[in-house]
Amino acid sequence: MIQADNGIDKAGRIAPISIVIEPPDSHSDPRIYMAAERTFLAWTRTGIALMGFGFVVARFGLFLREIADGQTSIKLPHASFSLPVGILLIVLGVVVNVVAAIRHCRRVRAIDRGQFRQAFGSVFGLWLAGFLALIGLAVAVYLAVLQS
């Protein structure tokens, strides 16, 4: 279908517009930089939350051991499972923050060059979500085995 300048095709119907129209200097628009910074800050919050949650998980095993030491009737066979999971979450939070900083720098450089739209996908977020799902599944299996 060939479009005329006024958006009407040769048959007189309104033609769908398939081209995104951007201002000539869209890469210098401050809103683009602010959106990139908001994304960076969101990833930073995610990394900090993972580190905080990892600390809580690691210390929860210590809490369970203290309770078990106080009462002779409670026996915890695998109370040390929370420490490696907590450390793993803390390391994952550090990795998220480092990757977020690297991606933010690359994103700002791509915006400066006017190549932002082609430069980035959401692969990192998908990998992170999958990895967290595996950690959650491992913890759920551990708790199910611990109950039986």
Judge whether residue 144 has pLDDT over 50. Answer: yes
Please name the residues in contact with 8: beta carbons below 8 A apart, sequence gap of 6 or more: 14, 15
pLDDT of residue 43: 92
Condensed to tens digits (0 to 9), the pLDDT of residues 45-69 reads 999 999 999 999 888 877 777 776 7
Domain boundaries, the chain: 31-147
CA separation for the pair 120, 101 (Å, rounded): 14
Judge whether residue 79 has pLDDT over 60. Answer: no
Condensed to tens digits (0 to 9), the pLDDT of residues 80-129 reads 778 888 899 999 999 999 999 999 998 888 888 877 665 566 788 888 88
pLDDT of residue 81: 78
Judge whether residue 5 has pLDDT over 60. Answer: no
Q: Are 96 and 40 in contact (CB under 8 A)?
A: no
Whether the model clears a pTM of 0.95, i.e. scores above it, the answer is no
